Amino acid sequence: MSLKCGIVGLPNVGKSTLFNCLSSAKAQAANFPFCTIEPNVGVITVPDERLTRLAEIVHPGRIVPATCEIVDIAGLVKGASKGEGLGNKFLGNIRETDAIIHVLRCFDDDNIVREGGASVNPVEDKEIIDTELQLKDLETIDSQLAKQQKTAAAGNKDAKVAVSVLEAYREVLIQGKNARTVEFDSKDEQKFAHDLFLLTAKPVLYVCNVDESSAKEGNEYSRKIEEIAKAENAEMLIIAAKTEEDIASLETYEDKQMFLEELGLEESGVNRLIKKAYSLLNLETFITAGEMEVKAWTYHKGWKAPQCAGVIHTDFEKGFIRAEVIKYNDYIQYGSEAAVREAGKMGIEGKEYVVQDGDIMHFRFNV
């Protein structure tokens, strides 16, 4: 299971700089719109200190962290829903992602022009992108609604479900709200809603790109976005992208930590961003640990043991017998799988066991 996030934002807000920090691929970071014509894709590792600690005990042949795909999508401008700028291409690329990382400019710099030459205004920038995505979603809904209403009038049950979903979405979108604010009770409604792939239904993480002096506490710009994120029940993160780029260029872990300490930060913004994106999609990690490898596996929070077994291989789920589970803290405390067994701390779990983040799993199966 892979996570795919799209980095979006108006031109010159710091998207490509942030992408450079996240990925070893180097997007061109320049002070003009559309320097990212094709989406740049980078596969990055999800930081997880637990893997390193386990590897120190197990001494595996390799460590395999979970990965996340980041797509740097070309800058959006007002009118993109009508094809302005690279509008249609932008909207096609964003439709394929699981979550949106929306970068907002929250810093002053006379050398970097804002679209239209106006003063810095992250709230207005956010509204421009929201409006373009909402207009595109309305287009998607209107293209289906009349047809579904006609079929529903003839008594088709599926069409009635479709109409109720489309009308609910349309009502909020014409009010200038996002589709993610609508919730549906029935599974049929939820499935139809999901299959629409509306742009504003995707979970969003607002990233406030600040100057170095605001990296820890934020500033007046980021505080405005924080209020909006709270009202929307959305996630928000403060990052100084240019500073993160400087940190990423340092060669040793020690140098990076020293830089972070000088800024009063415990962890880099890049690490925090990836972890936030993970939690945004209700994703967690279970671990397998052996002589060959220590490996992180991604699953949806709330999944039971057989479903997680299927992440490794479909045969594991089909022939699931039981799961042997060690809690991460117990593994660290006792220092080996054998010692955990001897202490009676290994759990033998069946099909109803809900896997917890950080569980070290061994699946027994028969096909």
Residue numbers belonging to the annotated binding site for ATP: 12-17
Calculate the alpha carbon distances from 326 to 46, 284, 285, 303, 359 in Å. Answer: 22, 16, 14, 17, 6
| DSSP string across 136-195 | HHHHHHHHHHHHHHHHHHTT-HHHHHHHHHHHHHHHHHTTT--GGG----SHHHHHHHHH
Nearest residue to 173 via CA among 203, 133, 205, 211: 133
Measured in residues, the chain has a length of 367
Instruction: Report the distance separating Cα 237 and Cα 274, nearest Å.
Output: 11
The burial class, CB within 10 Å (0-12 / 13-18 / 19+), for 64 is: middle
Tokens 């300490």 locate to 261
Known binding-site residues equal 12-17
Instruction: Report the distance separating Cα 319 and Cα 365, nearest Å.
Output: 5
| One-letter amino acid of 246 | D
The 10 Å Cβ neighbour count of residue 162 is 24
Instruction: Report the distance separating Cα 276 and Cα 270, nearest Å.
Output: 10
What's the N-to-C CA distance of the chain in angstroms? 23
